[in-house]
Amino acid sequence: MKQYLANVQGVDGYLIFSMIVFMSFFIGLLFWVLKADKKYIDKMKNIPLN
Amino acid sequence: MQIEKFNYDNKIVRDFALATLIFGVVGMLVGLLAAIQLYEPAANLGNQYTSFGRIRPLHTNAIIFAFVGNAIFMGIYYSLQRLCKARMFSDVLSRIHFWGWQLIIALAAVSLLLGYTTGKEYAELEWPIDIMIALVWVTFGINMIGTIVKRREKQMYVAIWFYIATLVTVAVLHIVNSLELPISLTKSYSIYAGVQDALVQWWYGHNAVAFFLTTPFLGMMYYFLPKAAGRPVYSYKLSILHFWSLIFLYIWAGPHHLLYSSLPDWAQSLGVAFSIMLIAPSWGGMVNGLLTLRGAWDKVRDEPILKMFAVGITAYGMATFEGPLLSLKNVNAIAHFIDWIVGHVHVGALGWNGLLTFAIIYWIIPRIYNTTIYSKKLMNVHFWLATLGIVFYAIPMYWSGFTQGLMWKEFTPEGTLQYPEFLKITLKILPLHMLRSFGGALYLSGFLVLIYNVVKTIRQGKLVANEAAEAPAIEKSMGHGSEFWHAILERKPITFTVLAILVIVVGGAVELIPTFTIKSNIPTIASVKPYTPLELQGRDIYQREGCNTCHTQWIRPFRSETERYMGEYSKAGEFVYDHPFLWGSKRTGPDLMRIGGKYPDSWHYHHMIDPRTMSPGSIMPQYSWLAEQDLDISTTPKKLKAMKTLGVPYTEYEIDNGNVSLKVQADAITANLKKEGIVMESQKELVAVIAYLQRMGTDIKKQTTASN
């Protein structure tokens, strides 16, 4: 099947792009979540119970 | 701060709850009938409307869109109003949404039984109903976003993010997968062909599981579980992490439904990689749910609602562990097409969707009727019937799945198949199928106990149609300097929605675009020609009768398969004229890819009239009506023309003379049958079906030269 793809330009690009997009998205997300303010998090947590 | 008074609309919640109960019974009864048909062919009731090929899509549609669908709307309409501290945006839209959805269900039930189907799993409904679904979904969307916009709670709680993701993704999936060219009100052809159609379908199919059966339920879990347990969710940070990762990753994983098919390898690998990664956010949700109950396990002992949540969330954990496991290529080699998959999806449906739905119904009904539940004891009875039902369902399916999967692949020391006769393997697993239907019956009986309990509860209370509430108006000032970014996002529903769309579109686009660009590069096989008019009509009947629910057209590149099905494995180039693809996903019967030319026409005739005359013990339904009904040839030119529009190279001459060549081919088949002493008129539907079956997979055998 690989030979079909040899004809398609930029398929490698798609694969690498997908991984880069996800990893940077996830690392950014993780960074910000860890930095989040505890008071805010506690407030959000309790919304359904209010 | 000004306190505003308003009312929650409980009537719409009640209406969706009642619809959930009604369609739950219907969907489960039809499922039970289908389960019995798989060991007792007489349960097909000898007519076309109730044969397995039509009953099975009715069951899946009834459960997914009618039972679970109504349960989702019930849960969202209840929780969204309270999380936003606002009444639904518009009562009129709520009513249009409710009645529109029930109308769609009614039309779906009738049309599926009549055999109107696109042949695509979980997307079987024909184009007019597809348009209605889109319109009703938009109504729901306006109502939901409208409510969020006019909310009195500044921040959007995690449940709402899941609802938004559900809303936008289901819309995108539904539209892309339903693009079809209408022939008439009841018939259309998918605009995609073969491999592309398969990829789009399983991108849809997989994400229908994700965004219809998973995300709305995670949202509801995040609202109703803390409510029922009386404590906040275990980790809000985890919920942010797993929400974004889940919606990001899910959308890429569809190709794991097509491993070892003629889908390009890179797409298969992409699907596997993202499927394995998916376990992390899925388990993030499970862990967050179960740990919310930490320190409250004593309550779980006494409170059946919490028991249902605990078992339901555990079932979610099991199903999402199995998913990545099943998408490993070496596991998939055995697991695909077998009963394990049926067990897997039912752990999800009966455990996760079912038990959570029951827990939410038990939570909501007494509250909107301002009373207490009629009987807690009956709730416990229900809990045990449902749990045992799942056990009696899943274990026989795993057992039977492994039995058939291994028997299909077993070779003798001499190198021939140990069990060359497919039917022998099928007969071996029938006792397990009987046990499975017992499990299903247990589960259904538990549901009937719920209905009794709910009816009694409703009788002892009175509906609070408009529940008074009050909350301070939302403050206009927003944010101060260095604020947590997600907090900002949680105040901006439109931005949030756009971002969620972006996240799912990236995955969808990366998966789909390369396959569309390789259209011209799918290796064409010179000897693969378009179907003749009669074969095309026969193929449409094959699709109408749902033959593809039990038979695959997809021989994988394994010796055990090329040996069993006596031919080459399936090539991408063989499907270029298939609108839609009919690869199937389950081998209840043998693969039919190379059935063409394997048996004489007369064998097919007898086999369709009564399969047991040719294959004693077969569980296939009889299709005797095909020999009685006349083929509708008035559609032939339209069908050929539509195919031409979609890129199938029929000439004008072929289109204009479609019915002439159809008649010639049909006469040849009936003449053939006559030699074997069978008298049949050439205009009968069965002749077209035989023509299609005899053509299937034969072109490649005529191959002399192939390009690429």
Q: Is B393 exposed, middle or buried (0-12, 13-18, 19+ CB in 10 A)?
A: buried
Tell me, yes or no, whether B527 lies in a domain.
no
ipTM > 0.90 for the complex? no
**What SS3 state is found at B553?**
coil
Based on the fold, state whether residues B422 and B555 are members of the same structural domain.
no
pLDDT for B485 equals 67
Residues B442 and B547 in one domain: no
Model confidence pLDDT, tens digit, residues B10-29: 999 999 999 999 999 999 99
Q: Which among B37, B42, B38, B34 has a CA at the least distance from the CA of B59? A: B34
Is B538 part of a structural domain of the chain? yes
Residue B259 lies in a domain: yes
pLDDT confidence tier of residue A26, bands split at 50, 70 and 90: confident
User: Domain total for chain B?
Assistant: 2
Query: Which residue did the predictor score with more confidence, B409 or A33?
Result: B409
B493 lies in the same domain as B606: no
% of chain B exceeding 90 in pLDDT: 83
Decide if B708 is inside a domain: no
* Statement to judge: residues B661 and B575 lie in one domain: yes
SS3 B518: coil
Contact yes or no for B514/A8 (Cβ under 8 A): yes
**B426/B554 same-domain check:** no
Phi, psi (deg, nearest 5) at residue B7: -125, 145
Same-domain pairing of B186 and B70: yes
Residue B339 has pLDDT above 90, yes or no: yes
Q: How confident is the model at residue B707 (pLDDT cuts 50, 70, 90)?
A: very low
B329/B345 Cα distance (integer angstroms) = 19
Q: Name which of B486, B503, B556, B569 to mutate to probe chain A: the one with the most chain A Cβ atoms within 10 A of its Cβ.
A: B486
Per-residue pLDDT, averaged over B85-106, amounts to: 98
Does A1 contact B265 at a Cβ distance shorter than 8 Å? yes
Instruction: With a cut of 70, say whether residue B583 has pLDDT above it.
Output: yes
Min Cα–Cα distance to chain B from A4, Å? 6
In a shared domain, residues B490 and B542: no
Are the C-beta atoms of residues B619 and B34 closer than 8 Å to each other?
no
Over residues B604-626, mean pLDDT: 96
Chain B CA closest to residue A39 = B484
B576 shares a domain with B435: no
The H or E element containing residue B181 is strand B180-184
Closest chain B residue to the Cα of A13, Cα to Cα: B510
Q: Is the pLDDT of residue A8 over 90?
A: no
Quickly tell me which residue has 């979610």 as its tokens: B316
Residue A46 has pLDDT above 60, yes or no: yes
From chain A, the residues in CB contact with B265 under 8 A are 1-2, 5
Mean pLDDT score, B600-622: 96
- Tokens in use for B661? 């060549």
pLDDT band of residue B493 (cuts 50, 70, 90) is confident
pLDDT, average across residues B507-526: 70
Position B2 in a domain: no
Same domain membership, residue B562 and residue B455 = no
- With respect to residue B523, please indicate whether it lies within any of the assigned structural domains: no
Please report, for the domain that includes residue B695, its CATH number: 1.10.760.10
CA distance A28 to chain B (A): 10
Phi-psi group of B468: left, alpha or beta (phi > 0 → left; psi -120 to 50 → alpha; rest → beta): beta
Residue B422, token pair as written in the block: 């497919």
Average pLDDT over chain B, rounded to whole?
Answer: 93
- Taking an 8 Å cut-off on Cβ atoms, the answer to whether A14 and B708 are in contact is no
B165 — pLDDT class (breaks 50, 70, 90): very high
Nearest CA in chain B to A36: B484
Nearest to B246 by CA among A37, A46, A47, A25: A25
Residue B244, chain A, CB below 8 Å: the answer is yes
Contacts of B445 (CB under 8 A, 6+ apart): B385, B389
Q: What is the mean pLDDT of residues B469-484?
A: 69
| C-alpha to C-alpha distance for B350 and B63, rounded to whole angstroms | 10
**B439 plus B342 within the same structural domain:** yes
In this prediction, residues B604-625 reach a mean pLDDT of: 96
Asked whether the beta carbons of residue A22 and residue B244 sit closer than 8 angstroms, the reply is: no
Nearest-angstrom CA–CA distance, B47 and B49:
6
CATH number, domain at B125?
1.20.210.10
Cβ distance A1 to B262 less than 8 Å, yes or no, reads yes
Q: Tell me if B525 is assigned to some domain.
A: no
Between these two residues, B521 and B299, which has the higher pLDDT value? B299
Averaged pLDDT, B675-701: 95
Half-sphere exposure of B37 (CA within 13 A, CB side): 24
Whether residue B54 lies inside any domain: the answer is yes
Q: Compute the Cα dihedral for B505, B510, B511, B515 and give only its sign.
A: positive
Residues B307 and B366 in one domain: yes
- Residue B344 lies in domain: 8-473+485-511
> Over 60: is that where the pLDDT of A3 sits?
no
Are B590 and B506 members of one domain?
no
Residue B334 banded pLDDT, cuts 50, 70, 90: very high
